[in-house]
């Protein structure tokens, strides 16, 4: 859930409710407009061109007087933040018209981590920062003005709270929390700062903490109480207490008037009840509520856009996504949703263009990264006739095997040596609520397939081949729900395993159900249920699911090999990267024992451990390893089996993940 969109709207609404601070400037620079470009130098002569950072997610231009303590109060707060969170992707440029010697003294005393630039080009005039200091500009992607503040004191607090809101939009709750704590130290009763802190707790998945924060606020009078109740409504929705959430949101609407949150919550509930027309009406009404929280309208626009996209009206959905992003430039879900509409139309160049913009917002978003890579690949294939022919031939072969029922396993003379473990992913169904990110289930499938294939441990069938075969055979969703048909498809693709599943969209986050199934008899060998946590942990969630899938496959199908030759402490194995061996794989050299008969019963003892082999280099069909813990000389034709205890030592990432 994109909770942060609602935060910003609520806080801005609170500011509007009490009147805009006279210290906030709204001159020629307007929100959404492109800021003037300039180049300035620091005291050492190093040039800083603003055009060079146009792709940064956020830049703060802080105009100040080095002699004025009130002027530098907020700057020092930003410096402490930058020192605490050096990887926060936050750029701060301090700009001053103060003499060079005073700037040098200021830097010597403060040791700021960001540059202090000498205004020798009247940049202060361009930004209306010549009379009132400090003047602070928060600049977003493509050098678009987001916020503009002038003056110290209370205005500095407003600026810091707004900066905290912006970091919530960027899904950086730890930074938002740190900023609000800075504000609270000087103003413990600041309702806006406490509200941001509550929403930061929601993003971090700390719902009980958020509930307490908003409960305390809800007991206060005026705008503080409204902010508290609205925050509680969001907490209850995340906890799955939908009726309680909706009732509280209605109370807020009755007290505060024209606010969109109640309609967003209502729309979400109606959609889960399969009442799409009523949900559409609720979202539409939310877009029209302009008096309370404009950033809540961004969510309403996005949800409405999703409904239009579902029925194929991509042009209209893009208009709505654009409106959502114009309200919230960090709304990465709405941005990527727009790209998906271009995908549906086969306009991969436009899709890639949109995904690149989304990457500028958050380069670490795993789904956007996968979407951009896929769009790039599709564009390359469209230009590569040879690759198109290769895909067509591969699809044709699988289709022929399927139709002719040629599923006989490949005969092998060596039953011990492992063959490649090939996995086929089938579409993951999606139901439940209307998530803010379109195509979540498909993105999950593609990302997991990409991660698993990149591990080198298994071979993953190309989704283009899988989809091409399904299209060529004319199999619809009902047909693919049949276990026998899926089994035939997997065997035709010579895959030993298939992965299928479902996603149920819940208010607290997607609930994922995945099954690893054998292709031969459709027998499930693993069932994984996984509840996604807060949105900021998406990459962690994906890694955890991938780890569970790979670990179970490796437990079921451990690599087995023979020793080809031994040279000193180095051994050559008859298994390589094509069979799933990667650098760092650990093998046990084993010695099988004869069956033992005891009182009429026979059992086979566990093989004895002779040595360990750590793989240091791989070729396609062979690999090289170093012998460790040797108990007897290793010889040709000794058997090796993958050591599964080396997969995840101490719950840490390993050679594969």
Quick: pLDDT tens for 433-477: 999 999 999 999 999 999 898 888 899 999 999 999 999 999 998
The DSSP output letter for 193 is H
Higher pLDDT residue, 257 or 446? 446
Determine the 3-state secondary structure of 234 from DSSP: helix
Domain that holds residue 365: 332-379
Q: What is the pLDDT of residue 600?
A: 85
Asked if 546 and 407 sit in the same domain, the reply is yes
d(CA 517, CA 362): 35
637: domain CATH number is 2.40.10.410
Element containing residue 514 per DSSP (H, E): strand 509-518
Number of domains in the chain: 4
Determine the 3-state secondary structure of 501 from DSSP: strand
Cis peptide before 171 (omega within 30 of 0): no
Asked if 394 and 313 sit in the same domain, the reply is no
Burial class (CB in 10 A: 0-12, 13-18, 19+), 590: middle
- Would you say residue 17 has pLDDT above 50? no
Confidence of residue 388 (pLDDT cuts 50, 70, 90): very high
Given 330, 348, 368, the domain boundary residue is: 330
What are the backbone angles phi and psi of residue 328, rounded to the nearest 5°?
A: -130, 95
What the block records as the tokens of 632 is: 């007897």
State the CB neighbour count (10 A cutoff) for residue 547.
19
Q: Residue 199 domain-assigned?
A: yes
What are the backbone angles phi and psi of residue 130, rounded to the nearest 5°?
A: -90, -20
Asked if 305 and 338 sit in the same domain, the reply is no
Determine the 3-state secondary structure of 75 from DSSP: helix
Determine the 3-state secondary structure of 21 from DSSP: coil
What the block records as the tokens of 192 is: 């806006």
Q: What is the DSSP string of 349-366?
A: HHHHHHHHHHHHH-TT-H
Average pLDDT of the residues in 403-413: 75
Put residue 30 in one of left, alpha, beta given phi > 0 → left and psi -120 to 50 → alpha.
Answer: beta
279: domain CATH number is 1.25.40.10
Q: What is the DSSP string of 105-157?
A: HHHHHH--SS-EEE--S-HHHHTT-SSSS-EEEEE-GGGBEEEEEE-STHHHH
- Would you say residue 24 has pLDDT above 50? no
What the block records as the tokens of 173 is: 């709750």
Asked if 528 and 438 sit in the same domain, the reply is yes
Contact 510, 440 (CB under 8 A): yes
Asked if 589 and 509 sit in the same domain, the reply is no
- Would you say residue 274 has pLDDT above 70? yes
Q: What is the pLDDT of residue 647?
A: 60
Given 486, 521, 556, the domain boundary residue is: 556
Cα separation of the two ends of the chain: 27
- Would you say residue 5 has pLDDT above 70? no
Given 505, 534, 556, the domain boundary residue is: 556
Place of tokens 């505060």: 256
Q: What is the pLDDT of residue 11?
A: 40
Asked if 504 and 550 sit in the same domain, the reply is yes
Q: Residue 639 domain-assigned?
A: yes
Q: What is the DSSP string of 444-458?
A: HHHHHHHHHHHTSSS
Mean pLDDT of the chain: 88
Q: What is the pLDDT of residue 70?
A: 85
HSE value, Cβ hemisphere, 13 Å, CA-based, for 93: 24
Q: What is the pLDDT of residue 242?
A: 86
Contact 525, 560 (CB under 8 A): no
Q: How many residues in the chain?
A: 657
518: domain CATH number is 3.40.50.10610
Q: Residue 547 domain-assigned?
A: yes
Q: Residue 307 domain-assigned?
A: yes
Contact 235, 202 (CB under 8 A): yes
Q: Residue 108 domain-assigned?
A: no
Average pLDDT of the residues in 241-267: 87
Q: What is the pLDDT of residue 351?
A: 97
Asked if 214 and 293 sit in the same domain, the reply is yes
Q: Residue 312 domain-assigned?
A: yes
Q: What is the pLDDT of residue 646?
A: 67
Confidence of residue 15 (pLDDT cuts 50, 70, 90): very low
Q: Residue 98 domain-assigned?
A: no
Asked if 444 and 530 sit in the same domain, the reply is yes
Asked if 448 and 458 sit in the same domain, the reply is yes
Asked if 297 and 375 sit in the same domain, the reply is no
**pTM for the full predicted model:** 0.82
Place of tokens 């005039």: 125
Asked if 600 and 520 sit in the same domain, the reply is no
Short-list 398, 522, 517, CA closest to 465? 398
d(CA 609, CA 628): 12
Place of tokens 């950086």: 172
Higher pLDDT residue, 101 or 30? 101
Confidence of residue 411 (pLDDT cuts 50, 70, 90): low
Contact 258, 289 (CB under 8 A): yes
| Bridge partners, 514 (sequence order) | 501, 528
Q: Residue 319 domain-assigned?
A: yes
Average pLDDT of the residues in 80-96: 85
Asked if 408 and 455 sit in the same domain, the reply is yes
Contact 579, 621 (CB under 8 A): yes
Determine the 3-state secondary structure of 415 from DSSP: coil
What the block records as the tokens of 593 is: 């024992």
């Amino acid at each position: 859930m994109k909770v942060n969109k609602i935060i910003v709207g609520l806080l801005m609404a609170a500011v509007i409710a009490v009147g805009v601070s006279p210290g906030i400037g709204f001159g020629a620079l307007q929100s959404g407009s492109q800021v003037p470009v300039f180049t300035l130098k620091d005291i050492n002569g190093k040039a800083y061109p603003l055009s060079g950072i146009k792709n940064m997610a956020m830049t703060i231009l802080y105009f100040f007087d080095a002699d004025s303590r009130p002027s530098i109060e907020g700057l020092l707060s930003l410096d402490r933040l930058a020192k605490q969170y050096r990887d926060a992707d936050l750029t701060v440029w301090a700009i001053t018209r103060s003499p060079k010697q005073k700037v040098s003294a200021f830097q010597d005393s403060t040791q700021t981590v960001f540059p202090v630039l000498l205004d020798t080009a009247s940049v202060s005039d361009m930004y209306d920062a010549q009379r009132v200091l400090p003047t602070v500009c928060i600049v977003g992607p493509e050098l678009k003005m987001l916020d503009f503040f002038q003056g110290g004191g209370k205005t500095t607090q407003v600026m810091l709270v707004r900066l905290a809101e912006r970091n919530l939009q960027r899904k950086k709750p730890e930074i938002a929390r740190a900023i609000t704590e800075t504000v609270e130290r000087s103003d413990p009763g600041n309702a806006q700062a406490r509200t941001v802190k509550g929403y930061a707790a929601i993003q971090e998945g700390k719902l009980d903490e958020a509930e307490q924060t908003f409960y305390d606020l809800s007991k206060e009078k005026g705008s503080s109480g409204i902010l508290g109740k609205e925050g509680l409504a969001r907490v209850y929705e995340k906890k799955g207490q939908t009726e309680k959430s909706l009732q509280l949101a209605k109370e807020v609407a009755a007290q505060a008037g024209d606010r969109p949150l109640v309609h967003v919550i209502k729309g979400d509930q109606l959609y889960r009840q399969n009442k799409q027309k009523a949900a559409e009406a609720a979202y539409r009404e939310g877009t029209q509520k302009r008096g309370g929280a404009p950033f809540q309208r961004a969510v309403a626009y996005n949800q409405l856009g999703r409904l239009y996209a579902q029925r194929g009206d991509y042009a209209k959905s893009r208009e709505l996504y654009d409106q959502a992003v114009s309200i919230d430039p960090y709304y990465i879900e709405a941005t990527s949703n727009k790209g998906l509409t271009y995908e549906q139309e086969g306009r991969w160049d436009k899709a890639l263009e949109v995904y690149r913009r989304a990457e500028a917002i958050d380069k670490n978003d795993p789904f956007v990264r996968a979407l951009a890579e896929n769009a790039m690949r599709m564009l390359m294939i469209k230009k590569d006739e040879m690759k198109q022919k290769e895909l067509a031939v591969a699809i044709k072969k699988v289709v022929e095997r399927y139709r002719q029922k040629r599923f006989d396993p490949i005969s092998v003379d060596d039953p011990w040596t492992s063959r490649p473990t090939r996995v086929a992913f089938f579409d993951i169904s999606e139901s439940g609520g209307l998530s803010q990110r379109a195509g979540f289930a498909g993105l999950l499938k593609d990302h997991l397939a990409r991660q698993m294939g990149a591990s080198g441990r298994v071979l993953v069938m190309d989704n283009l081949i899988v989809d091409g075969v399904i299209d060529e055979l004319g199999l619809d969703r009902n047909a693919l729900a049949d276990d026998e048909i899926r089994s035939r498809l997997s065997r035709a693709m010579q895959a030993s395993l298939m992965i299928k599943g479902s996603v149920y969209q819940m208010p607290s986050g997607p609930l994922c159900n995945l099954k690893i199934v054998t292709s031969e008899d459709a027998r499930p060998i693993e069932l994984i249920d996984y509840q996604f946590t807060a949105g900021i942990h998406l990459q962690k969630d994906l890694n955890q699911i991938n780890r569970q899938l790979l670990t179970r496959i490796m437990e079921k199908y451990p690599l087995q090999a023979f020793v080809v030759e031994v040279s000193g402490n180095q051994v050559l194995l008859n298994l390589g990267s094509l069979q799933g061996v990667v650098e760092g794989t650990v093998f046990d050299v084993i010695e099988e024992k004869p069956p033992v008969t005891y009182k009429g019963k026979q059992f086979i003892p566990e093989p004895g451990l002779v040595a360990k082999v750590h793989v240091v280099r791989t070729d396609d069909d062979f690999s090289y390893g170093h012998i460790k813990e040797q108990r007897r000389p290793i010889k040709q034709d000794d058997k090796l089996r993958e050591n599964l205890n080396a997969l995840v030592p101490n719950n840490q990432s390993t050679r594969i993940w």
